[in-house]
Structure 1
Amino acid sequence: MATEVRVLSHAVDQAGDVLDRVRPDQLGLRTPCADWELAELVDHLVSTPGRFLTMMRGEQPDWGAAPPHVAESWGPVFRVAGDDLVHAWHQAEDPPVPADFQVAELALHTWDVASAIGYPVDRLDPEIAERGLAFLRANLTDDNRAPVFGAEVEPPAGAGPYERLAAFAGRQV
């Protein structure tokens, strides 16, 4: 579990770094997430660690509910809950969810935000995407994709780990 938590911690740091790059004038941009503008995706990503903390307590978050809107300081707001999440993992004796599930969610949405704002994807940590993709490949089937994930698409030749992750999750890359 130590490796999973280390990678999760890096995924939290990385997502916070990408969120730091979002500018208010970009919030209307389209994202690789179908039907989401950047503002909606940022709110979703910022709320994700808190929802994961709910899961760590053995409760089920309402993923369908709109998250609170955060108007600025997305990286710092995200990091507060992200740090709480990593701390909860360090204290967890029998976690109810795998850390790699959380890594996959953070990796995919970090790529989504990075792609929308033009952040260089080659600066993202490949280990995070590789662990996230391995988790999704082991757990995501054609039967349980919808409505969250689209059908797998073919990644372009020479695609890196984030592009392969995004393509597996149904994103056009």
Structure 2
Amino acid sequence: MDSPHQPVVVLSRALDQAGDALAAVRAEDLDKPTPCHGWTVRELADHLAAAPEHFLQMARGEEVDWTAGTGVEPSALTAHFRAHADDLIHHWHGQSDEQAAQADWQSAELGVHTWDLLRATGRTLPLDEEVAERGLAFMQQGLTDENRGGAFGPAVSVPDDASAYDRLVAFAGRDPRA
């Protein structure tokens, strides 16, 4: 049975695995393409490293420029990410049970981009299936063919027995078999 703060527990694990994926990026990876159409590893890593800071800005009611990066060198992305990830988790622990349920969308964003980064760099790390399951459930509630915009391609068909991560990224428009 889920606790009311289970979304925050899962978000913490999503942040941990995203930080590990960022730490696995090497200088020779930075110009490689990613499953995020038109983005290099450098751009995706910077976007992922900026995510916790952007999530916090949004939580404080500030205007967020989702296209803005971290402004730090690639070698400092992991430290930047982890510092803001700690702040984000502290923020969520101070929220009501009802508000905590909203953390699943952040797990979705982190889960997809962690997978993207690992796929692009050819690295493998254990990925938490609950991050993908909760992220997918959140995305399925609101992401339609009409509102996918430029961030998400059309959903890709995968077998019913596909892993949670394959289902998550396929729903986000990535082909896990590519």
Normalization by structure 2: what TM-score? 0.89
* Matching of residues 3-82 of structure 1 within 5 Å: 3-82=6-85
Deviation at 1:66, TM superposition (A): 4.6
Structure 1 residue 118 and structure 2 residue 122: aligned?
A: yes
Whole-angstrom CA distance in 2 between matches of 1:58 and 1:97: 18
Whole-angstrom CA distance in 2 between matches of 1:160 and 1:96: 26
Q: Which one-letter code corresponds to 1:113 in the other structure?
A: L
Structure 1 residue 131 and structure 2 residue 134: aligned?
A: yes
Contact 2:14–2:110 (8 Å) recurs in 1:
yes
- Deviating 4+ runs (over 4 angstroms): 94-97
Contact 1:55–1:96 (8 Å) recurs in 2:
no
Contact 1:47–1:78 (8 Å) recurs in 2:
yes
Deviation at 1:76, TM superposition (A): 2.2
Q: Deviations over 1:82-124 (max 9, x none)?
A: 0100001011247498100101000000000011111226x11
Contact 1:103–1:132 (8 Å) recurs in 2:
yes
| Structure 1 equivalent of residue 108 of structure 2 | 104
**Number of residue pairs aligned between Structure 1 and Structure 2:** 172
| Structure 1 equivalent of residue 158 of structure 2 | 155
Deviation at 1:147, TM superposition (A): 1.6
Q: Which one-letter code corresponds to 1:47 in the other structure?
A: A
Q: Per the alignment, do residues 100 and 146 of structure 1 end up closer, same or farther by CA in structure 2, a change over 3 Å counting?
A: same
Q: Percent identity?
A: 47
Structure 1 residue 145 and structure 2 residue 125: aligned?
A: no
Whole-angstrom CA distance in 1 between matches of 2:91 and 2:69: 24
Deviation at 1:163, TM superposition (A): 1.4
Whole-angstrom CA distance in 2 between matches of 1:75 and 1:57: 23
2:88 maps to which of 57, 79, 85:
85
Q: Deviations over 1:44-75 (max 9, x none)?
A: 00000000001111223111345424320432
| Structure 2 equivalent of residue 172 of structure 1 | 175
Whole-angstrom CA distance in 2 between matches of 1:25 and 1:117: 9
Whole-angstrom CA distance in 2 between matches of 1:27 and 1:152: 27
Contact 1:49–1:85 (8 Å) recurs in 2:
yes
The Cα RMSD (Å) is: 1.9
Contact 2:8–2:100 (8 Å) recurs in 1:
no
Deviation at 1:25, TM superposition (A): 0.9
Normalization by structure 1: what TM-score? 0.91
Q: Which one-letter code corresponds to 1:99 in the other structure?
A: A
